[in-house]
Structure 1
Amino acid sequence: MGHAGRMNLRLLVAATAASLALAACSSSSDSTQKASPEPSKGTAKQLVEVSPLTGKAMKKGRPDNPVFVVKIENTIGGAPQYGLDQADLVIEELVEGGLTRLAAFYYSSLPSKVGHVRSLRTSDIGIAGPVGGQIVASGGATGAYNKVKGAGIKVFSEDDGAPGFSSDPLKVRPYNRLIDLKTVARNAKATTIPGPYLPWSQGSDPTPKPSSSTGATATPKPKKATTATVRFSPSTATSWALKGRKWVRTNGHAEAGKDFEADTMIVLSCRVGDAGYTDPAGNPVPETVFEGSGEARIFHGNRVTSVTWVKPGLTKGLRFRTADGKPYRIEPGKVFLELVPEGDGGVSFS
């Protein structure tokens, strides 16, 4: 299938037949072999891989491209944001001056116009690492760029002459950089995807039932909400509203009618350190430490569930557990992760 390695992903099986299942598994190890023909009546159906970014079945098989993580400006200076509606997953992270930036993940779809593209940060190691993401950025401070590359993450930087960049004639630098991901993909090699970004459920209700055991800490019942405000700093907050079954930003900067619509929005409280350098204006650059554990709120439909997030390493995927230690899984779909700083950040909802 054109991959340099095999993804260790969960497989969905529509029907089981041991001999055919073994044949399907062995054929998948041959990267040059095409997908097997449609099974005849009465036999097991093909195995279908699940997207590491959405938990949904990839009916056409895995793409022949890696996961691209595009750094996108998240202020009015970079508006409008292009291509967010086609992302599989989006993460908002703190940058200098109390502002934020987006890391948009593209795997199942590669838009020809994404932006406006900005520079990378050392925080992106823990953001891109779990799925072997290849970062697309306009550039980055030398120290940050070296750390990201030193972590084994491929970077497509305009400063290094990466292909696919163009200028938006309606904007000025540094807010005018656009990227064509189809062009980037022609110059990229697919890499091993270590595993899913999130622990996906298999269609059942992901909310564990409250414990009734004597002496056990009961899992709190989900609260209700249709609006939320996620605070990153005294000057920056992202507002959300539940529209139908989707969580949508109400103060975002996306192209009209083309913002990212999240099936699930997750707010994670993260430790923030000093990246060790300043921006051109002299502001210290923060580094979100996206590993370890912390508090999290999961917004799905009108339910808000309080859990603990766990990420044992920068390149490891996220896991969640409830107050009584039970695993919590995420329903397949598009997810927006808010990495708010401990102390200065938080979330309120109603």
Structure 2
Amino acid sequence: MRQMARVRRGAMTAALLAISVTGSLMTACTSGGGATDDGRGHVPGPAHSHGTAASSGSVLAVKIDNAPAARPQTGLDAADVVYAEQVEGGLSRLMAVYASKLPKAIGPVRSARESDLELLRQFDEPTLAYSGVQHKLLRLVDQAPLNLRPPDKVPAAYYRGTDNAAPHNLYLRPQRLMGSAAPGSAALTTGFRFGAAPSGGSPETSRTVRFPAARFTFTWSGSRQRWLVAMDGTPAVTAEGRTVAPATVVVQYVKVRTSKYHDVLGNKTPYTETVGSGTAKVLRDGRAFDVNWARPKATDGTRFTTADGTPMNFAQGQVWVVFAKA
């Protein structure tokens, strides 16, 4: 039945993502106790009973801290797709999705948000690693078709590092969730297409996307044929000094509304709507393309097309999607 479901899910999405991501990271942090919250009173929700390891073919999605105190992150360069979303106070947080390769460690791991549930519906029972959720979200998270793996369910998969203070020091050992091998790129069905760039576009050397209290800058490197990432003005590198450099950057303009949830300080949680349609900028090969995006329902991937309806191909390699307010 699960195999049949994957076939049906694959038919609804536009194309299978085939990315080859290289690099393996090890963290210098030592092991600590398995935490059960994200340092702000958020507690994990109950997990579905799919066993200790993820189901075969399930991608791994990890909520990654992006506060300045959490940098440099670990394992970010090995992700197939990185989503950047707005959270409380106008700050940013990342969702990294792994299908082609699992690094040695990933983090710092932080809490999930309501809009993550909608974003992850495009995958077939993805495994979600996160530090916890707001208490009022527990019911929604438990009902979502996710393989939930917070620290209290698999404490051996998490550890506290020593380089940063809590809550910015919780790390994941992904092999303890997924086994020794990644599910393979065929498990990642996002609607993305890869291939030669379409005609048109305009030369682009740098683009900055601003949140109320955060910003991302992508600068084209002709020698590396990649976009170099800077966050809040600081170049993005991993804990071992690897430059974070996606091949394709998508600035997707979406509706960002206020949800009914808030953090412990009373800051309202933004809700990023990823189902619907709108416009986007796709950066690849040192050029910017104006495109349209469409995701009719949560179980669909997002399709990107040029003005004449031609599918927008991405460059082979890591993809960053930044959700900017329309």
TM-score range normalised by the length of the shorter chain:
0.7 to 0.9
Q: Which residue of the partner structure matches residue 98 of structure 1?
A: 90
Q: Deviations over 1:6-63 (max 9, x none)?
A: 64498xxxxxxxxxxxxxxxxxxxxxxxxxxxxxxxxxxxxxxxx9444569xxxxx9
Q: Call closer, same or farther: CA 1:159–1:99 in 2, change over 3 Å.
A: farther
Q: Give me the whole-angstrom Cα distance separating, in 2, the residues matched to 1:107 and 1:194.
A: 7
Q: Give me the whole-angstrom Cα distance separating, in 1, the residues matched to 2:300 and 2:2.
A: 20
Q: Call closer, same or farther: CA 1:162–1:312 in 2, change over 3 Å.
A: farther
Q: Does 1:239 align with 2:217?
A: yes
TM-score, length of structure 2 as denominator length: 0.77
Q: Give me the whole-angstrom Cα distance separating, in 1, the residues matched to 2:82 and 2:292.
A: 20
Q: Which residue of the partner structure matches residue 266 of structure 2?
A: 282
Decide whether the 8 Å contact of 2:249 with 2:321 is kept in 1: yes
Structure 1 position 154, deviation (Å): 1.9
Q: Which residue of the partner structure matches residue 313 of structure 2?
A: 329
Q: Give me the whole-angstrom Cα distance separating, in 2, the residues matched to 1:253 and 1:56.
A: 19
Structure 1 residues 1-350: aligned runs within 5 Å: 4-5=2-3, 7-8=6-7, 52-55=16-19, 64-132=56-124, 133-186=126-179, 196-201=189-194, 203=195, 205-207=196-198, 209=199, 221-233=200-212, 235-243=213-221, 244-250=224-230, 251=234, 252=236, 254-342=238-326
Q: Which residue of the partner structure matches residue 28 of structure 1?
A: none
Q: Which residue of the partner structure matches residue 31 of structure 1?
A: none
Q: Give me the whole-angstrom Cα distance separating, in 2, the residues matched to 1:334 and 1:307.
A: 19
Q: Deviations over 1:185-215 (max 9, x none)?
A: 249997xx886213314x4x341x5xxxxxx
Report the count of equivalent residues. Answer: 279
Q: Which has the higher contact order (CA 8 A, sep 6+)?
A: 2
Q: Give me the whole-angstrom Cα distance separating, in 2, the residues matched to 1:189 and 1:224.
A: 36
For residue 302 of structure 1, what is the amino acid of its counterpart? G
The answer for unaligned runs of 5 or more in structure 1 is: 11-50, 58-62, 210-220, 343-350
Structure 1 position 128, deviation (Å): 1.9
Structure 1 position 254, deviation (Å): 3.3
Q: Give me the whole-angstrom Cα distance separating, in 2, the residues matched to 1:320 and 1:77.
A: 35
Q: Give me the whole-angstrom Cα distance separating, in 1, the residues matched to 2:242 and 2:56.
A: 26
Q: Give me the whole-angstrom Cα distance separating, in 2, the residues matched to 1:291 and 1:113.
A: 31
Structure 1 position 326, deviation (Å): 3.1
Q: Give me the whole-angstrom Cα distance separating, in 2, the residues matched to 1:140 and 1:187.
A: 28
For residue 216 of structure 2, what is the amino acid of its counterpart? T
Aligned-pair identity (%): 28
The answer for unaligned runs of 5 or more in structure 2 is: 22-54
Q: Call closer, same or farther: CA 1:65–1:180 in 2, change over 3 Å.
A: farther
Structure 1 position 113, deviation (Å): 1.2
Q: Give me the whole-angstrom Cα distance separating, in 2, the residues matched to 1:255 and 1:157.
A: 23
Q: Over aligned residue pairs, what C-alpha RMSD do you find? A: 2.9
SS at match of 1:230: strand
Q: Give me the whole-angstrom Cα distance separating, in 2, the residues matched to 1:176 and 1:130.
A: 29
Q: Which residue of the partner structure matches residue 60 of structure 1?
A: none
Q: Which residue of the partner structure matches residue 34 of structure 2?
A: none
Q: Compare CA radii of gyration and give the structure with the larger one.
A: 1
